[in-house]
Amino acid sequence: MPFKNAIGFFVKPVSGISYDPDLLTYIDGLITPLSTGNLALLNTMYIDWKVGLGEIANVSDADDVMYNLAGETTEISLRNMVRRAHDAIAVNSPVHVPLEGFQGDGIGSYVDHNYIPNSDRIKFLTTNASGGVYVRTNFGAGTYTTVVSTRRFQIRKNAADGSLFAYSIYNNAYAFAGTVGSGYYVANKDGESLYRNGDLLNLHNSTDQADDGYKLVSLAMSGAVIPNNYSEAQISFVYLGRTRTAPEIMSNTNVIEAYMDANERGVI
């Protein structure tokens, strides 16, 4: 029988443990079951993530897609944590290390998904959007080439300085995280602000090309993907959703790092 816990979320007993309903949807129909320990960590992640966003009832109240790429299995790592739609796809065999994440080869292997912002957006709106990516490793440099794409969100790099391509912020802008490498990056459509580990890095506009390692670059979402911009960094977590306040960003940062630290894989 479902009941409300202390912060108002409906849960129900499963094998002696009360799981958040979003978690139950996330794990429904898994071929390979998760360990009790990992389920407990994921349960905490869901509850604390939602508390940090104003005690929302469901992750879909704030986000369109979330991927815990540092899952216990490849199967669970590619699932959308928000709803049973837009699961991620491993293209050309990026390497998955359980509890760490996925890592492409920098040439043509990457993580993609069935979420196209232009047509699928619900919370990730043109004027109210944010995205986050947890990076476990540093990444190399190369030669930047303009990238245009109508494809889905991808994890790649800006080959000019090796900075990580994080996510699409709205119809014609992409965020890049700087060459410092590992950490948790969040970009907001609120003046194009970029955060690393909860700290504000800059407030560039979408056409600013300042060479400080952190920038938002305007690109059109049409055309083809250029393979040499794929990232070779190991990625642990990704989300796309509504704009975050600074306290919400710090809370979400702490939630993700707590999960990674619990598995002894944190880098912050």
| Residue ranges of domains in the chain | 58-262
* Per-residue pLDDT at 146: 35
* Per-residue pLDDT at 24: 96
In sequence order, what DSSP letters do the residues of 38-68 get, joined into one string?
Answer: HHHHHHHHHHHHHHHTTS-SSGGGTEEEEEE
* Per-residue pLDDT at 19: 94
Report helix, strand and coil shares of the chain as percent, to nearest 5. Answer: 20, 30, 50
pLDDT, mean of residues 194-221: 50
The pTM of the full predicted model, rounded to 2 decimals, is: 0.80
Question: Comparing C-alpha atoms, which of 229, 261, 196, 237 is closest to residue 105?
Answer: 229
Q: Are 23 and 83 in contact (CB under 8 A)?
A: no
Per-residue pLDDT band for 205 (boundaries 50, 70, 90) equals very low
| DSSP E strands, 121-161 | 130-135, 156-158
Check if CATH label 1.10.10.10 holds for domain 58-262. Answer: no
pLDDT exceeds cutoff 70 at 139: no
Q: Are 78 and 39 in contact (CB under 8 A)?
A: no
